[in-house]
Amino acid sequence: MRNIFLFIRRYFNFILFLLLQGFSIYLIVHYSRYHNAVFSKTTNQLTGKINEQYNKVQYYFQLKKTNDSLVTANKKLYDKLKADFALPDTSSNILVDSIKVDSMERYRKYEYYPAKVVYNSVAAQNNFIVINRGAAQNIKDGMGIIDPNMGVVGIVTDVSKDFAVVMSLLHKDSHISGKLLKTGETGTLSWDGKTPGIISLTGIPKNVKVAKGDTIISSGFSTSIPKGMLIGIIEEVKADKSSGIFLIKFKAAANFYNLEYVYAIENKQADNIKTILEKVKQKTQ
């Protein structure tokens, strides 16, 4: 203990300088939007590199689960191949397909980018995920994120050169639009910050037929996530006595405890939609 006090006494001026320097940096970052943005992107890039190295070791011990998820994803893609369908016999009427696959690219609406999860949290009230793709790999703010089984994971909120931060569904500020697969009614997703994997769907009126086991999918009412992506399965339905809506809780389709690979979704029409919405807002102001 005596040596500690002697050390502090000897280097008191230097220690005080470090404390004041750190406090000054905090004030600059906290009260300046420019410095806050620079600091956020720098720390995001640095922590992303560290998490990527740590995740490489963890990934080695989870190869089997990774392979299983990739096999499932590939099956969904193979099921959509033309060769998987039995076409009618056209021997009496020969048809020639003059449309090449490459010529359809200009009609593409969504592009999918695979990415590896290098950081993931589920225990906090505001949980984030970090993926090893960034601006250099075509990732942008607002992109939707799904798992290999097409389960909705979240939305990209911050991007650096080689990494991106994703606000998962397990975040109190995440309010993605979802709809009932059977009836088509649309509601808003929200998480109470308590039980990971159990999320609420609000805004469904009491006159709708909804029950445990029903499926919730993405509504498509945003530029982030296409319509029809799996969000979850309903676990509990209760009538809210103080209003005319149901209190619905469902289990998320994505397994947030075991996220290794995800897909970032680029909406090719997103910029055009945002531009026309901005014009409408300016006219109404």
**Does residue 274 belong to any structural domain of this protein?**
yes
**Does residue 101 belong to any structural domain of this protein?**
no
Q: In the predicted model, is pLDDT for residue 94 greater than 50?
A: no
**Does residue 21 belong to any structural domain of this protein?**
no
Query: From CA 178, how far away is CA 248, in angstroms rounded?
Result: 12
159-217 pLDDT, tens digit each: 999 999 999 999 999 989 999 999 999 999 999 888 878 999 999 999 999 999 999 99
**Does residue 12 belong to any structural domain of this protein?**
no
**Does residue 92 belong to any structural domain of this protein?**
no
Overall average pLDDT of the 262-278 stretch: 87
pTM metric for this prediction: 0.68
**Does residue 25 belong to any structural domain of this protein?**
no
Q: Residues 57, 62, 64, 66: what is their CA dihedral angle, to the nearest 10 degrees?
A: -90
Structural domain total, the chain = 1
Residues β-bridged to residue 165: 130, 158
List phi, psi (to 5°) of 61. -90, 0
Please report, for the domain that includes residue 223, its CATH number. Answer: 2.40.10.340
Q: Which domain holds residue 164?
A: 32-79+110-285
In three-state secondary structure terms, 117 is: strand
**Per-residue pLDDT at 280:** 87
Which secondary structure element, helix H or strand E, spans residue 15, and what is its range?
helix 12-31
122-165 pLDDT, tens digit each: 988 899 999 999 999 999 999 999 998 889 999 999 999 999 99
Half-sphere exposure of 147 (CA within 13 A, CB side): 24
**Does residue 265 belong to any structural domain of this protein?**
yes
Q: Is the separation of the CB atoms in 131 and 117 below 8 Å?
A: yes
In three-state secondary structure terms, 175 is: coil
Q: In the predicted model, is pLDDT for residue 60 greater than 70?
A: no
Query: From CA 261, how far away is CA 52, in angstroms rounded?
Result: 13
Between 190 and 61, name the one with better pLDDT: 190
**Per-residue pLDDT at 117:** 93
**Does residue 58 belong to any structural domain of this protein?**
yes
